Amino acid sequence: QIGGYYEYALYDDCTYDNGLLQLQHTLWRKNGVGGALNDYTCGSGEAMEAYAASSAVRDAFHVPVDSNFFSGDNGDGFNYTLTEKNLMPFYQDVAVGKYADQNIKVMVYNGDTDPGINSFVAQNWTSSLGFEEVESWRPWTTDSCQRMAGYVTRYEGNFDFVTVRGAGHMVPTYKPEEAFEMFSAWITGEGFKVFDPSCEAPDL
């Protein structure tokens, strides 16, 4: 028998929107316990809607207090007409085709515990574009030593595929340090820090 799972993170325990886990995790943090996979507040859509309804939040975002907020998750409530059945030719044009001279960088990234849009599907889609590998599938780290952050494959045309180890669908929520390192490496062009099996642990 297959049990249930949270659709945005395979190993998460934010299954319910009843707020009980919010209290539990808050108590852990107050007692100095942290660093675990689920060391954040649960809440899901209901928490987001309550956040967006706050007049203080709307004021901070310069949004009218009487404005209407709704969740567009999964296109709920949208009348969406599909105009492009396959976007692969477009991305091929961006990387190596008619838009290549514009030097547009593309990064496809996934948390590797996201069941909703899993990393195997994204990796298969990316490799199917037919680009030449500039850097084959390898681990990347946050410290140029052994602190694993995920895996990366780099292709011609400034096209990268990156996974973030232990992250669910909302990568910065689950792995903020790794997400910051990933975006920093990609934006600056400095590259993803390599894994060094013979390095000594850095001083903390």
Q: What's the whole-number average pLDDT of the chain?
A: 85
* Strand arrangement, sheet containing 106-111: 106-111, 159-164, 148-155, 133-141
Based on the number of CB atoms within 10 Å of its own CB, is 83 exposed (0-12), middle (13-18) or buried (19 or more)?
A: exposed
Q: Is it the case that residue 196 has pLDDT exceeding 50?
A: yes
In the structure, what pLDDT confidence band is assigned to residue 159 with cuts at 50, 70 and 90? very high
Sequence-distant (≥ 6) Cβ neighbours of residue 156 within 8 angstroms: 95, 96, 131, 132, 133, 134
Q: How far does the chain reach from its first CA to its final CA, in angstroms?
A: 45
According to the model, what pLDDT value does residue 7 have? 80
pLDDT over 90 at 73, yes or no: no
Query: pTM value?
Result: 0.79
Note the pLDDT of residue 41. 61
The single residue listed with the structure tokens 């996979």 is 37
Between 71 and 55, the more confident residue is 55
Gap between the Cα atoms of 201 and 133, Å rounded = 31
Q: What number is the average pLDDT over the span 136-157?
A: 96
Q: What is the pLDDT of residues 5-63, one digit of tens each?
A: 778 888 877 666 544 455 455 555 555 555 445 556 666 667 778 888 889 999 999 99
pLDDT at 76 over 60: yes
**How confident is the model at residue 93, as a pLDDT?**
97
pLDDT at 97 over 80: yes
